Chains A and B, each alone.
Chain A
Amino acid sequence: MSLATLKVAPGFMPYMPKEYQDLVEKGPYGRQVKVSELGTFKEILEEHPMCAGCAMTLFIRLSMIGFPNPEHTIILGTAGCGRLALTQASIPFVYGNYCDTNAVASGLKRGLEIRFPNQKKDVVVMAGDGGLADIGFAHVMHSWFRKEKFTTIMLDNEVYGNTGGQESGMTQKGMVMKMAPLGKRFEKMDMLGLAKTAGVAYIARIAPTNPNRVVSTVRKAVMVAREIGPSFIQAYTSCNIEYAIPTPKVLDDARQVEKDRYGFLEIMTDEAKAYLEQIEPKKGAKAKEVAE
């Protein structure tokens, strides 16, 4: 939603909800806000009912700072915890069925390119590991094979959080969950490898331990999807309920998991790399980088 769309006729302004007036007057539109400015401008994300201390919430909040052009962004989500916050933001949200996010996003992106030939519109899928790696798997893979130009962000809490603790393809082997009492029997799926095989232009794995890095990774992924091809971020966003992490320890857990097995990783095609160097010439991200 562009700021011009957000603004109402001046006579109506006093009757709009406070939150709305705040967005128009103190929102982040028309400029690239920085992480260090947080707390001094009205965020696009509103209050929402996700659990206290949920790392997924933190990741979503930072992602919305990372979107290069939030007023021209559309989010596609589905059932799962993330949508509880994603729906409470001043960014149009399309609720896909649980599985078809990437099919809907494909059609939406193509439609937008025809409808708005002079204005780039960014489409971002944000959904859980269950939504993307299990039931939406075929749609995700085929959108990548077709080189659809949008970003897929997996909110990987390694469980079906919203429905109370079933294992997902992204749960680690051996993990005992409320509804996987014998422990998961199979390995965590290698979605990064699958994305690479499918030719995704920019792939990243990240934990929300460094706000600036989350913001820059999301920005890179959206920019690559705008100009080059599909992008994919797999983000560790622990479920403190299903993994019994005391909320004051949520970031300690993220740091530990990042250190042990979820370190920041970027994989990109030569074309994506050249494009990112062109738009951000001096930035050298300290990630292990695997150029194809």
Chain B
Amino acid sequence: MYAVAQVDISICSATSCRLCTQYCPEANTILYDNKRKTAYIAVDRCKGCELCVGICDNIAKHRAIKMVPVTDVHDGFEMSKYGFPRNGR
């Protein structure tokens, strides 16, 4: 079992922060939806490093990202299934 990042959309969308998208070491893994104004995770790309949690908690001070067991993710976005999202999610 491994953990992946999950963004609490209600917290994130109240900000226009985007900081985690800039510090994630992986390409196109934390995506940003301009319509819903929130970051969200491509679950199949997240390696679970937790760097984004530190950025969101300590630098952005929003505490919007938590690590969750991958089996607890419901309706997560998977890049390999859908490809790069065209108009937000």
**Which residues of A pack against B, CB within 8 Å?**
18-19, 21-22, 25-26, 35-36, 38-40, 42-47, 50-55, 57-58, 61, 64, 211, 247-252
A22-B83, A247-B49, A248-B51 are known; give 18 further A-B pairs, CB within 8 A.
A18-B84, A21-B83, A22-B84, A26-B86, A38-B21, A38-B32, A39-B30, A39-B31, A39-B39, A42-B28, A45-B27, A45-B28, A52-B47, A53-B47, A53-B50, A57-B26, A247-B50, A250-B49
C-alpha spacing A247/B21, complex, angstroms: 17
Q: Which of B25, B28, B50, B54 has the most CB of A within 10 A?
A: B25
Q: How far is the CA of A42 from the CA of B29 in the complex (A)?
A: 10
- Inter-chain CA distance A35–B20, complex, in Å, is 11
Give the total number of A-B pairs whose CB atoms are below 8 A apart. Answer: 80
Which partner residue on chain B sits nearest A45 by CB separation?
B27
Whether A39 contacts B18 by the Cβ 8 Å rule is yes
B43 within 8 A of A: no
Which residues of chain B come closer than 8 Å to A51, judged between CB atoms? 47
User: With contacts A22-B83, A26-B86, A42-B84 known, is A248 near B25, CB below 8 A?
Assistant: no
Of chain A, the residue at the smallest CB distance from B85 is A26
Q: Nearest Cβ distance between residue B74 and chain A, in whole angstroms?
A: 22
Residues of B within 8 A of A40 (CB): 31-32, 34
Q: How far is the CA of A46 from the CA of B27 in the complex (A)?
A: 6
B32 touches which of A26, A39, A248 (Cβ 8 Å): A39
Cα distance, A51 to B47, chains bound together (Å): 8
Interface residues in B30-89 by Cβ distance below 8 A to A read 30-32, 34, 39, 45, 47-51, 53-55, 80, 83-84, 86
Contact status B28-A43, CB under 8 Å: yes
17 contacts between A and B (CB under 8 A): A18-B83, A25-B84, A26-B84, A35-B22, A38-B18, A38-B22, A40-B31, A44-B27, A47-B27, A50-B25, A54-B25, A58-B24, A58-B51, A61-B27, A64-B27, A248-B51, A248-B53
Tell me the dominant secondary structure on chain A's binding face.
helix
Q: Which residues of B contact A (CB under 8 A)?
A: 18, 21-28, 30-32, 34, 39, 45, 47-51, 53-55, 80, 83-84, 86
**Across the interface, which residues of B come within 8 angstroms of A55, CB to CB?**
25
Assess whether A251 is in contact with B55, with CB atoms less than 8 Å apart.
yes
The distance in angstroms between the C-alpha atoms of A197 and B30, with both chains bound, is: 42
Which of A44, A64, A251 gathers most chain B CB within 10 Å? Answer: A251
Whether A53 touches B51, Cβ cut-off 8 Å, given contacts A19-B83, A26-B84, A211-B22, is: yes
Contact check: which of A25, A47, A54, A58 meets B45 at CB < 8 Å? Answer: A47
In the complex, chain A residues whose CB is within 8 Å of the CB of B22: 35-36, 38, 211
Least Cβ distance of A165 to chain B in Å? Answer: 20
Task: Collect the chain B residues with CB atoms within 8 Å of residue A52's CB.
Answer: 25, 47-49
Contact present for B47 and A251 (CB under 8 Å) = no
Which of chain B's residues have a CB closer than 8 A to the CB of A18?
Answer: 80, 83-84
- Is there an interface contact between A247 and B51, defined as CB atoms closer than 8 Å? yes
Q: B24 to chain A: which residues have CB within 8 Å? A: 58
A55 to B54, CA, bound (A): 14
Nearest B residue to A38 via CB reads B21
**CA A58 to CA B32, docked complex, whole Å:** 18
